[in-house]
Structure 1
Amino acid sequence: MQYENPVLPGTHPDPTVCRVGDDYYLATSSFEYFPGVPLYHSNDLVSWEHIGHALDRESQLDLEDIESSDGIYAPTLRHHEGTFYLVTTLVGGEGNFVVTADDPAGEWSDPVSLDAPGFDPDLFFEGDTAYLSYAAGPTLPETTIKNATVDLETGDVGEPQELWEGIEGTFCEAPHLYEVDGTYYLLTAEGGTHVNHMVVAARADDPMGPFEPCPRNPILSHRGHPMRSIDATGHGDLVDAPDGSWWLVFLGIRQRGGHPGWHHLGRETFLAPVEWDGGWPVVNGGDPVEIETTVDSLPGEGTPRPSAPARATREAFDGERLDGAFEYRRNPDADAYSLDGEELTLRPRTTSLDEPGATFVGRRQAQFDCRVEADIAFDPDPGEEAGLALIADERHHYEIGIAGREGNPIAFVRLRVGDLCDVVAERPVEGTDHRLAVDATAEAYRFRIGTDDEGTEELASAATRYLATEVTGCFTGVYVGPYATGSSDARSDDREGERAARFERFAYEPSE
């Protein structure tokens, strides 16, 4: 049987997985995006359905003052005695905390803060005792893994003990602790989260150690394999299946452009089979993991199908809630977004997308080749604009929009790359109804304008590489969606009138 990696394409870093019976549940990091920590369900580890977010209330997650690429780091999802536990870190905020739920698709609790420093927390249960492992150190990259008992009701953490400093002594992070046939195994990541990334393993007779390293470490890494289709593999989590098979979910990137390459879809979630040899896990038979992966069988029955992020998003904005693929950059202001059963209305909060509080809602770009369209009804005054944006962070974004000018409004394409910002195309437009489109390939975005009853014409194009992590330095890939901005004067006007941007349709269509 063959399946295709990544199993969760687009920004899905730091995957963590747990099994309950025949059901698998998976969560990933979400950084500055809200709701936080997307959750997925599967019966075969390949076909993942989005079932919600663990952090969907402001009482759980306040991102107002969080910098881009801070926020929610590296959760761990576990199930113990009928309760789901998710432990994670709000970097730039209050640190480590835990939330719980009876049903991962239901409502999660408010956070309980954990009295421990560091990041990348992990939970391990043995009987009535819960252990909290985490990465900590004086500064990066000098981190080690510490472990302590934890009271998950109060957040009190016992005296920590150093478990493991890794095999290289730098960027030792992402711990996950397991018990397999009476032996305790520790998986960690090392080498940073780019091309030197790797997964290493250690084992002990006690959850507090001492741990001995696997003689075949790293058990997964694509360092030393340049120009592969998958790179930067690391940060893995093990799970077993009812049929006795074992699997590893882990993050990786799909670089483009040769050497040095770039990746703009973010760090994605991949899957590989695991066997045990001499009491140690062996990932994919010790070979590099490929896009097309062949295995004897997968857990569950049926034919694997594309996971939720890989499928199209077609939103007519005719419901009470947005499609679950959409997320906001930080907590949304209710005054800036409204649904009335016919359209999505956006009102500006900032003068540009360069500001953290900008009105924007988008979904992950999950394919190199895709088409994005939005139908907008907009009659802007000078200083107002709205349209479609491709965003990596506040200093790296592209947009095609409609802007108010004295006389006729204009359609335009603007590129922001670090300190450089330029409107690369503009032309007058008539009327209030417009179709904005972006055709994406691995190398370029092509920006198009038209109406819903005629074809679109290209206004400009731009290279994808300038929204890539190798340029931006950020931890997320590109998100695409509607936005609205306005000058201070425009934003002080009555926003209930015609000048609000009304989006009547959004479509994300894979073309791979």
Structure 2
Amino acid sequence: MAHRPNPLIPGFHPDPSVVLVDGVYYLVTSTFEYLPGLPVYRSTDLVDWEPIGHVADRPEQVEVSSVATGAGVFAPTLRYHNGLFHVIVTVVGSPRGCVVYTATDPAGPWSDGVTINGLDGIDPDLVWDDDGTAYVTYSGLRLTGEDAGRHYGIEQVRVDLADGRTLESPRPLWSGSGLRFPEAPHLYRHGDHWYLVIAEGGTERGHAVSVARGPSVTGPFTGHPANPLLTASGSPRYVQNTGHADLVETPDGGWALVLLGVRPIGEAQAFSPLGRETFITDVTWTEDGWPVFASVDLAPRAGIESADFSFEDGTALDDPGWLAVRATPRSMAEVIDGHLVLRGRETGLDAPRPVFVGRRQRHLNADVATRADASDGVGGLAARYDEHHHFGLEAKTEDGATVVTAWGSVAGLRQEWRRSFPAGPVELGMELRTPAEAASTVRADRIRLTADGTPLAELDGRYWTAETCASFTGRVVGLYASEGTARFADFRCAGWETGPGTDQ
């Protein structure tokens, strides 16, 4: 069994799909209402991953400017065929629908995408049979029409990728062991069989991986008698919600399963600050040809990961880690005279499209800081789960002083703490800490908000977690403006792990 870090890619990185091409691995994940969409990662060893770009770096590729929170760019599948990389994905709530993007280089540029008309569902998989016919296998959750909201299990259609159309009516394929929400299908040919791997049980604590096999890409499929073959449901495991899995060969000739999971804090396993992350586990095969999935063990990377941006040379926004909400980072921010400049629109983090650029929180312990100048506007440092759940620090000039307001917003209810500082730029900071195990039975992390080193508020992090916010995403921490022009000299963040799976 290989030793690999877990999570494999930390922070808000759900629904991973992976492909191996000429000895190199490429992986994409979901992004929902954030842009750029569908980050692409590269690795040569399934251990170290480098972000190399995004599939959707142009707004018109996904058209998420008006999608509801929790909709947008759902679960992608990444595949390679005849010299082209393909990503197929459903953009829920967008006129794009089910879209296939292609590229010769996974770093981009990617095509504008072709919509597959007549396909109504989510979590599409793309596979070709021996004669080159393309099939899309998907979760039959109806998104439109009179049947919107009804679920028809796992379905499949032949498609014409060039013309963007289905070639037949959808047919039922196989819908798991009877748990709710069969979804996330992926098809593979291995040995004498075609294998259908799906998720079921829902993407919360009941999440599971089940497997069936059949003689051809169209089946018929027979499920493993012991399904589900992988789940953390009802267990005390440190990684929960395990599911939505994709199989891939490993560098040593074995197999691995890349999948999503969460890291709930405390003995009660109640709250997961970072949302759904990408994990990995080993796969072996029995003599009669069934896969066996090892349990998903927690093994966070050691050391401190830092990202410091001074905004001095104007290239900081080129870093692929920046995100914005329903817009691109460069449409929200610009670098001028060594500062990141955000121009407010008299809307805060409650807005569907806030003036906000941020980065995923990747570690359960983190320090985040910025030097903010609010002499010409109102803005600051914030962490967002969605427009109803966020917290942060806002600076503005008032009566010849810099007034800093710390706040926490939960389901639209907001509490504030204010303090005045001398006029001019102010240092805004967040300290995010996991509690000692003895005190963490039902807690998440503790959040300390400071200005010029002075504590303004301490918050209970469980109110900004995947479970409380019922979100498909995760915490994104960054800079924002609500009025006028806010300037930021830098953005500094450092993260690390303690507790289970570490040596601390």
TM-score scaled to structure 1, two decimals?
Answer: 0.89
Once the two structures are superposed, the pairs formed by residues 259-408 of structure 1 within 5 Å of their partners are 259=268, 261-277=270-286, 278-284=288-294, 288-292=295-299, 311-317=305-311, 318-322=313-317, 323-332=319-328, 336-340=332-336, 342-380=338-376, 384-408=377-401
Post-superposition Cα deviations, 1:205-255, rounded to whole Å, max 9, x if no partner, equal 011111000122112111121x32100100000011353211100000000
Instruction: Quote the offset at 1:407 in angstroms.
Output: 4.3
Alignment of 1:430-445 (within 5 A): 430-442=422-434, 443-445=445-447
String of CA shifts for 1:466-485, please: whole Å, max 9, x gaps.
01122111111110000000
Counterpart CA distance in 1 for 2:420 and 2:27 is 47
AA partner of residue 506 (structure 1): F
Distance (whole Å) between structure 2 residues aligned to residue 311 and residue 28 of structure 1:
21
Q: Distance in 1 between matches of 2:172 and 2:220?
A: 9
**8 Å CA contact retained: 1:15, 1:29:** yes
| Matched letter for residue 124 of structure 1 | V
8 Å contact kept, 2:389–2:412 = no
Specify the SS of the correspondent of 2:462: helix
CA distance in 2, matches of 1:511, 1:161: 47
- Report what 1:175 is aligned to: 185
- AA partner of residue 319 (structure 1): G
Range that drifts further, 330-339 or 45-54: 330-339
Question: Where in structure 2 are the equivalents of 1:106-505 lying within 5 Å?
Answer: 106-115=108-117, 116-127=119-130, 128-137=132-141, 138=147, 142-159=151-168, 160-168=170-178, 170-225=180-235, 227-241=236-250, 243-259=252-268, 261-277=270-286, 278-284=288-294, 288-292=295-299, 311-317=305-311, 318-322=313-317, 323-332=319-328, 336-340=332-336, 342-380=338-376, 384-423=377-416, 425-442=417-434, 443-450=445-452, 456-486=453-483, 500-505=485-490
Please state how far the C-alpha of 1:406 moved relative to its aligned partner. Answer: 4.0
Letter matched to residue 344 of structure 1? L
Contact 2:35 2:327 in 1 (8 A): yes
Instruction: Give CA deviations for 1:157-195 in whole Å, capped at 9, x if unaligned.
Output: 122211012111520000001111131000000000010
Aligned partners of 1:147, 1:169: CA distance in 2, in Å? Answer: 20
Taking the TM superposition and a 5 Å limit, the aligned residue runs for 1:62-73 are 62-73=63-74
Cα deviations by residue, 1:346-382 (Å, 9 ceiling, x for unpaired) = 00124221111210000011111110011122204xx
Query: CA–CA distance in 1 between the matches of 2:140 and 2:366?
Result: 40
**Cα RMSD (Å) of the superposition?**
1.9
Bigger drift between 337-346 and 77-86 goes to: 337-346
SS in 1 for 2:347: coil
Residue in 2 that maps onto 1:296:
none
| Residue 140 of structure 1, CA deviation | 5.2
How many angstroms apart in 1 are the aligned matches of 2:4 and 2:256?
Answer: 13
Q: CA deviation at 1:143?
A: 3.7
8 Å contact kept, 2:198–2:210: yes
Mapped partners of 1:221, 1:365: distance in 2: 25
Shift of 1:335: 6.2
Deviations 1:410-469 (A, max 9, x none): 01101110131111x21111122111110111221111111xxxxx12111111110112
- AA aligned opposite 1:427: R
CA distance in 1, matches of 2:178, 2:451: 52
Q: Tell me, which stretches of 5 or more residues in structure 1 are unaligned?
A: 294-304, 451-455, 492-499
Output the CA distance in 2 between the equivalents of 1:361 and 1:465: 23
For the residue of structure 2 that corresponds to 1:257, the secondary structure is coil
Query: Quick one: distance in 1 between partners of 2:307 and 2:161?
Result: 38
- Hey, what's the Cα distance between the residues in 1 that align with 2:454 and 2:399? 24
Distance in 1, Cα, partners of 2:456 & 2:60 = 43
For 1:41 and 1:409, the matched residues in 2 are separated by 44
- 1:506 matched to 2:499? The reply is no
> Which residue identity does 1:405 align to in structure 2?
E
Count of residue correspondences: 474
Give the drift of 1:84. 0.1
Range moving further from structure 2, 127-136 or 82-91: 127-136
Determine what percentage of the aligned residue pairs are the same residue. 39
Structure-2 residue corresponding to 1:96: 98
What SS is found at the alignment partner of 2:463?
helix
Change (3 A) 1:335 1:185: closer
For structure 2, the 5+ residue unaligned runs are: 142-146, 435-444, 498-504
Contact 1:142–1:169 under 8 Å retained in 2: no
Whether the 8 Å contact between 2:307 and 2:492 is mirrored in structure 1 is yes
Q: Secondary structure at the match of 1:66?
A: coil
Which string of whole-angstrom CA distances, capped at 9 and with x for unpartnered residues, describes residues 270-327 of structure 1? 011100112111011xxx321139xxxxxxxxxxx789xx832211122335122111
TM-score (norm 2): 0.90
